[in-house]
Amino acid sequence: MIRRILGIIIVLGSCSAPEKGDSSDKTTNEVKYASGFHFETTNNQNYLVIDEPWPKATKPIKYLLSDNPKRIVCTSTSHLPYFEMLNAEDLVIGFPNLNYISSEIFIKRAEDGLLTDLGPDGSINMELLLGINPDAVIAFDMGGESLTLDKIEESGIPVYYNSDFLEQSPLGRAEWIKFFGALIGKEKQADSIFSSIESEYMRVKELAETAKDRPSILSGVVYGDTWFLPGGNNWAATFFNNAGGEYLWDNDSTSGWLELSFESVYEKANEADMWIGTSTLNSMDEMLGQDDRYSSFKAFEDGEVFNYNKKIGPNGGYDFFESGYSRPDLVLSDLIKILHPELLPEYETVYFQKLK
């Protein structure tokens, strides 16, 4: 497999040099929170290094930062907000299955014929891809065999692996805006945006630390016979704790998702104060329709159930999974508003709302 031997330096038409004569956008390329990428300078040449391009990858990938691509294909909706934040939406010309997108800006670009649908179900149609002739494809790899990505590389189109989904901290994931900034020559703008997000995140986190109590939190729902909920080192668990809550599985060391029985969850969380995160169940009736045992939880009885369904795109996409990763300051503020509304009396939530 081609991508499995990409530990060597890949010299592609890529990233971070500004246009000739413009040095105002150069930075030190410091990475503070993200563990999945960094920058290196060797022999006066700058490189973007993806330390773990896919889960359990044994070698990093290095990209030489040279020319900036002007025609880009993205493969995850979570990539798109970074282009909006960097005022570079016009660079994105293709995406697999436009129905997944909730961004009004990118939906409008698709309606105007400026964003090509590259295939159903998140797959990429090679004929369509070659037809739009992109300079780069930003891809993610969950660790399986991907013949499509291999074919893209074989065709001569540079593939940039984005593994932001492996980050375990909210600020670490948001810091991948610097990956996109380096790719399109907007490093200074990316640094400035991230600094603002970091500052606001730390401000509201410190505010949450002044709360007098820490409401206990349950999360997740049952699918089949299994209750899926965030592990103690999961991205979501970090948010719960930073917002001034007591996530009941905080002592667990899992960074992914736990798969537990209904009975074990009930034993631990039947008296939880809050239930935050109910997947695609967007009302109390929907929850009962899936499993009427939910009604026996105190949080359900008290009506303290919340989900990230406040912003849903026209085709059913949750904006939380599109822009929420890039705006942890807003996600944290939402959760503080839920757990400690007195701390943010004028704030209106962006992603979360109480279920009815």
Give me the mean pLDDT over the 168-189 stretch: 96
- CATH no. of 210-354: 3.40.50.1980
Annotate 11-34 with three-state secondary structure.
CCCCCCCCCCCCCCCCCCCCCCCC
Query: Quick one: how far is CA 233 from the chain centroid?
Result: 16
Q: What is the mean pLDDT of the chain?
A: 90
Annotate 135-198 with three-state secondary structure.
CEEEECCCCCCCHHHHHHHHCCCCEEECCHHHCCCHHHHHCCHHHHHHHHCCHHHHHHHHHHHH
**pLDDT tens for each residue of 186-211:** 999 999 999 999 999 999 999 999 99
Fold of 2-199: Rossmann fold (3.40.50)
What pTM, to 2 d.p., does this model score? 0.90
Asked if 306 contacts 299 with a C-beta cutoff of 8 angstroms, the reply is no
pLDDT number for residue 244: 98
Q: What is the largest CA-CA distance in the chain?
A: 66
What residue segments make up the domains of the chain, in order of their start?
2-199, 210-354
The C-alpha atoms of residue 260 and residue 227 are separated, in whole angstroms, by 5
Phi, psi of 97 (to 5 degrees): 70, 90
Phi, psi of 74 (to 5 degrees): -105, 155
Asked, colleague to colleague, whether 2-199 and 210-354 share their fold, the answer is yes
Q: At residue 123, does pLDDT exceed 70?
A: yes
Q: Residue 41, SS3?
A: strand
Tally of CA atoms within 13 A in the half-sphere of 190 that contains its CB:
27
% of the chain with per-residue pLDDT over 70: 91
| Rounded CA Rg of the chain | 21
Phi, psi of 210 (to 5 degrees): -85, -5
Bridge partners of residue 74, in order along the sequence: 138
The C-alpha atoms of residue 118 and residue 126 are separated, in whole angstroms, by 8
